Copies of this chain bind each other. A is one copy, B any other.
């Protein structure tokens, strides 16, 4: 069972796991994407993953067999484990608890596709809906307070399997960056009585220069203080703090916006590695006036060096205005079937 340990200075929680009999020099500093090998996520290989937690299935198909459209399974190498109590405790000045939590994999399609942009809008809707379903289910567990949904595409973004999938980690603590967003946005709210994200949306829509996609219910823009080149955020225009409260018609619209934004990033940057993360409020809060759920998409173009790691102080060589202008204008190509897909460099 891994530990959750808290840094006594800044309050950052870290998952510390005992290494699996690894010698120090077994670490590989440049992990590779496993390509061209047997894929455990493809339809027909259901017995190669842990048993499914939930799947959206075609009528007449059976659990852990073919016939699914979206499938959620436990991560085979989980960062946290679901059984047991937290055993919160101190060790001198240090705080720790057992690494209780959930770590799940959302397999987004039975086909061997590589990216969100290759999913049909209908397929992506089901992915976005199953995110909601899992959050709704897991927030019933009183030990757990935060659900983080994220996706890694490409080796440079930390992916080890190319079949398009996302992950869900549910933790008994609030991760520090989310905590900072919560406290920063609360400070703004207390001072001005408004949601800082709503203010950003309003200003971005008015100036237009950082807008990438504008739909009736959602807006995608490159944020004013982008950490990474072509970093793009997607926010619902109507204030809402919890992703899991999303409605079906909003998911329908969001899937179109996401597909378009990611296709634009891929066309502009020639299929880069990327991450996206859904930022949402903690489970143990009601609807919050100051916090606004959103999706952050971060292409992996620059390598974070010592300076960024140590300081949280980023150097971004592309202005968000340049990036947004490019993304607005870039032509996207439509891809649906695997045979149409150009080979991805595995960097």
Mark A residues whose CB is within 8 Å of B.
Answer: 3, 5-20, 22, 24-25, 27, 29-31, 79, 91-94, 148, 150-152, 154, 156-159, 167, 169, 171, 175-178, 180-181, 184-185, 188, 196-197, 199-200, 203, 207, 223-227, 229-230, 268-270, 272-273, 275-277, 279, 296, 298, 300-307, 309-320, 322-323, 326, 347
Contact = CB atoms under 8 A, between A and B. Distances in A.
A266 B336 CA distance: 48
A17 to B, nearest CB: 5
A28 to B, nearest CB: 8
Contacts of A230: 24
A309 to B, nearest CB: 6
A157 to B, nearest CB: 6
Contact of A320 (B16, B207, B268, B279): B16
Q: Which 5 A-B pairs have the closest CB atoms?
A: A158-B305, A275-B306, A277-B310, A175-B311, A175-B313
A99 to B, nearest CB: 10
A19 B318 contact: yes
Given A10-B181, A94-B224, A225-B7, A17 B315 contact: yes
A176 B311 contact: yes
Contacts of A269: 24-25, 27
Given A223-B7, A313-B171, A93 B148 contact: no
Contact of A150 (B152, B181, B307): B307
Nearest to A206: B92
Given A178-B311, A322-B18, A184 B10 contact: yes
B277 A152 contact: no
A298 B311 CA distance: 13
A3 to B, nearest CB: 8
A181 B310 CA distance: 11
A306 B7 CA distance: 21
Contacts of A277: 306-307, 309-311
Contacts of A223: 7
B199 A16 contact: no
Nearest to A178: B311
25 contacts: A5-B225, A7-B225, A8-B188, A8-B199, A9-B181, A9-B184, A10-B177, A12-B314, A14-B315, A16-B320, A17-B316, A19-B229, A24-B230, A24-B318, A29-B300, A91-B224, A150-B306, A150-B307, A167-B307, A175-B311, A175-B312, A277-B310, A277-B311, A279-B310, A298-B309
Given A176-B311, A177-B312, A310-B296, A224 B148 contact: no
A156 B225 contact: no
A9 B197 contact: yes
A5 B276 contact: no
A323 B27 CA distance: 13
Given A29-B273, A177-B310, A270-B25, A188 B9 contact: yes
Contact of A177 (B15, B31, B313): B313
A236 to B, nearest CB: 16
B17 A317 contact: yes
A312 B17 contact: no
Contact of A313 (B14, B91, B152, B301): B14
Contacts of A307: 148, 150, 158, 167, 169, 277
